[in-house]
Structure 1
């Protein structure tokens, strides 16, 4: 799966939160300064080519829906980060985040409980 650019990710976040969108809806929901309609249309067409979106013709306009779920993309993206920055080690990655985030004792206990619940 290809990596999303910052703007592509921003658009996908909107589409993942909806049940399909038109270009005008995407433009309306993007933060200021809003990109031009044609810019958004071009990015959406790129997302279709990359296989992230599909289009459905409704009258004279296209409605875009996600083909790749947020969960599938997140899983792939996190896996790539783990491989690239943490020698493919989950424990190294978690140790990094635990140090960076300055987790509270409560958060640490919550993580331990989640990890223990996943053991067979």
Structure 2
């Protein structure tokens, strides 16, 4: 089943629906935090979410019972794949680098998750030996060393 994007308002309601899993309109109105939206507004969003395939309906007498069809984990996976595609060249490594650099994930989080005992350190790059540059920039040091060697031999 293809998952579609949700608007911010739809996501807010779906967060409540994912907690309930199966519910009636009256359940939503009871559980929704203040300020509560109007019942007609919630009813309109329910119809939209049914059309988008996030919810199913079952008529029980005069009222509808709604059931979540797309689990929250599947929607999160969809959003993360979209984010990865648009901003991180489909690279999990780029996402992880971003999370570490922005301190959204710490080394401690990684250690806990993977249950390993290691520490990330910046890569130490071996500085190149600049013999020719040293000879040009510090000619006196080498001359002194040669003079000392000559004096010792005498």
Q: Could you tell me which residue of structure 1 aligns to residue 37 of structure 2?
A: 35
Unaligned runs of 5+ in 1: 115-120
What pairs with 1:1-120 in structure 2 (closer than 5 Å)? 1-101=3-103, 103-113=105-115
SS in 2 for 1:57: strand
Which structure would you say has the larger Rg?
A: 2
With over 3 angstroms needed to count, the CA separation of the structure-2 counterparts of 1:44 and 1:102, relative to structure 1, is closer
SS in 1 for 2:23: coil
**Cα displacement string for residues 76-102 of structure 1 (whole angstroms, at most 9, x for unaligned residues):** 111001111111111111111122235
Shift of 1:110: 2.6
How many residues are matched?
Answer: 114
TM-score if structure 2 supplies the norm length? 0.67
Unaligned runs of 5+ in 2: 117-154
CA RMSD of aligned residues (A): 1.8
Q: Comparing both chains, which one has the higher relative contact order based on Cα–Cα distances under 8 Å and sequence gaps of 6 or more?
A: 1
SS in 2 for 1:95: helix
**Cα displacement string for residues 53-85 of structure 1 (whole angstroms, at most 9, x for unaligned residues):** 000111211010011111211111110011111
Hey, what's the Cα distance between the residues in 2 that align with 1:89 and 1:96? 11
Hey, what's the Cα distance between the residues in 1 that align with 2:41 and 2:95? 36
TM-score if structure 1 supplies the norm length? 0.84
Hey, what's the Cα distance between the residues in 1 that align with 2:104 and 2:56? 41
With over 3 angstroms needed to count, the CA separation of the structure-2 counterparts of 1:61 and 1:82, relative to structure 1, is same
Shift of 1:113: 4.4
